[in-house]
Amino acid sequence: MQKYNKIEIENDEEFSSEIQRLSRSLNLCNYNKNIDAFDLKLKEFEKKSLNQTFFDQEEYLNLADTIIDAVKNQIDDLNTLQVCLDLSRLHCGVFRLYESKGIVSKMIPFVANIPFEYTESNRDSIKDYLYSFYYWKVIQSLDKDNDDDAIISLFKNNKFLNSKEGSSVRETVLRSVISNNKYKKCPYNVNILEKLLL
């Protein structure tokens, strides 16, 4: 439940677990001299939030903004990408920070490698990233050499796209490509993609 700038903490253990997860990720970014200070701020934020049974979303997003600023120069490092993703587990507004910091193109393929790593807070934004990743995968295959085997393999052998959680992403990607004016002119392409919808 959200009240103005406050988000109620419905489960203390889950909230603390997410803070601890973020703390562990942060500590793997030992290339940054400010990590200890950020970790301390996180613990202070956790204590304050639990005491008042809600957390201030502006305060959290400001902290997330500061952390991403501090680590984004190492954005190709997997630990950095994990920190950035873990920050979104408590608030989907972190995805807007990815945009403002210019790191979306790095986050999308990282998310695609761990598609089941989401919470209720960031589920929809994660699915948007997965849609973008797989949509462009199909487009690239069609543009490159109409590699039907690659497209079929992408959908048939992908654990996420064939899961209950990924079914909506799969369907949306396929329908989007089918309706793309460039590709719907080719009955052969449409036929293959429509078969994958079944």
Number of residues that make up the chain = 198
Supply the pLDDT for residue 1. Answer: 38
What pLDDT sits at residue 145? 64
Q: How far apart are the first and last CA of the chain?
A: 38
Residue 188 banded pLDDT, cuts 50, 70, 90: low
Q: In sequence order, what DSSP letters do the residues of 131-160 get, joined into one string? A: HHHHHHHHHHHHHHH--HHHHHHHHHS-TT
Q: How confident is the model at residue 185 (pLDDT cuts 50, 70, 90)?
A: low
| Average pLDDT along the chain | 90
Q: Where are the domains of the chain?
A: 1-103, 122-198
User: How far is Cα 75 from Cα 77, in angstroms, rounded to an integer?
Assistant: 5
Beta strands in the chain (DSSP E): 2-3, 6-8, 54-56
Q: For the chain, what percent of residues have pLDDT higher than 70?
A: 93
Percent above pLDDT 90 for the chain: 70
Write down the pLDDT at residue 160.
Answer: 94
Q: What is the pLDDT of residues 71-124, one digit of tens each?
A: 999 999 999 999 999 999 999 999 999 999 999 999 999 999 999 999 999 999
Q: According to the model, what pLDDT value does residue 151 have?
A: 81
The model's pTM is 0.89
β 6-8/54-56 pair status: antiparallel
* Residues 3, 98: Cα–Cα separation, whole Å: 25
Distance between CA atoms of residues 117 and 128, nearest Å = 14
